[in-house]
């Protein structure tokens, strides 16, 4: 087996297993991983002094398309964790923000989340964790360039007729 294939398979296996281990962690709080990502992005936006995010901005932060965000936000709104309201500066657009209940949920999850993160990375030394962070950031930047480059899209399409 080629080194590239081995590395890719190991990366995909670890990614899938990590997602599978995080699912029950989030389920304890009545949320999914996608809902966690939206809630955390909204919480970070609040910490930056923003009074909410437009769905497109939320999608950009999560690296997903707006339709993917909309379904998750709708479920969070039904649960009372987020609110969607007209933007004061552009009445045609909506802003999404946490409700007080959403903030309480985030505090509950974040009380337990560091322990889960520690458990997930316990087999790695601090040096290996820094290396994992750097390699993950490098992969993310590369994937972003593949996602936005028309030449890369054409190149990938040539590989898979």
C-alpha triplet 19, 56, 145: angle, nearest 5°: 65
Asked if 121 and 130 touch (Cβ cutoff 8 Å), the reply is no
- Specify the pLDDT at position 153: 47
Cα distance between residue 22 and residue 116, in whole Å: 8
Domain limits for position 48? 14-123
Residues 53 and 103 in one domain: yes
Q: Looking at residue 60, what is its pLDDT?
A: 86
Question: What pLDDT, on the 0 to 100 scale, is given for residue 1?
Answer: 59
Query: How far, in Å, are 8, 36, 60, 133, 141 from residue 147 at the CA level?
Result: 18, 24, 13, 21, 10
Which pLDDT score is estimated for 137?
A: 93
Tell me: do 145 and 95 sit in the same domain: no
143 and 98 in one domain? no
**What DSSP element (H or E) covers 97?**
strand 94-98
Distance between CA atoms of 85 and 94, rounded to whole angstroms?
5
Q: Are residues 57 and 67 in the same domain?
A: yes
Please count the other Cβ atoms lying within 10 Å of the Cβ belonging to residue 43. Answer: 19
**pLDDT number for residue 2:** 87
The pLDDT score that the predictor gives to residue 160 is: 47
> What's this model's pTM, rounded to 2 decimal places?
0.81
> In the chain, which residues have pLDDT < 50?
152-153, 156, 160-161
């Amino acid at each position: 087996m080629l080194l590239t294939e081995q590395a890719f398979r190991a990366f995909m296996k670890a990614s899938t297993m990590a997602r599978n281990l995080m699912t029950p962690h989030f389920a304890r709080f009545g949320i999914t991983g996608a809902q966690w990502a939206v809630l955390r992005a909204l919480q970070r936006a609040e910490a930056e002094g923003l009074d909410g995010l437009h769905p497109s901005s939320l999608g950009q932060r999560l690296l997903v398309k707006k339709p993917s965000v909309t379904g998750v936000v709708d479920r969070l709104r039904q649960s009372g964790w987020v609110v969607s309201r007209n933007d004061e500066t552009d009445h045609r657009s909506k802003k999404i923000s946490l409700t007080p209940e959403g903030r309480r949920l985030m505090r509950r999850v974040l009380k337990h989340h560091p322990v889960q993160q520690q458990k997930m990375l316990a087999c790695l030394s601090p040096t290996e964790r820094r290396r994992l962070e750097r390699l993950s950031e490098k992969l993310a930047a590369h994937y972003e360039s593949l996602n936005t480059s028309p030449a890369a899209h054409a190149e990938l399409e040539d590989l898979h007729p």
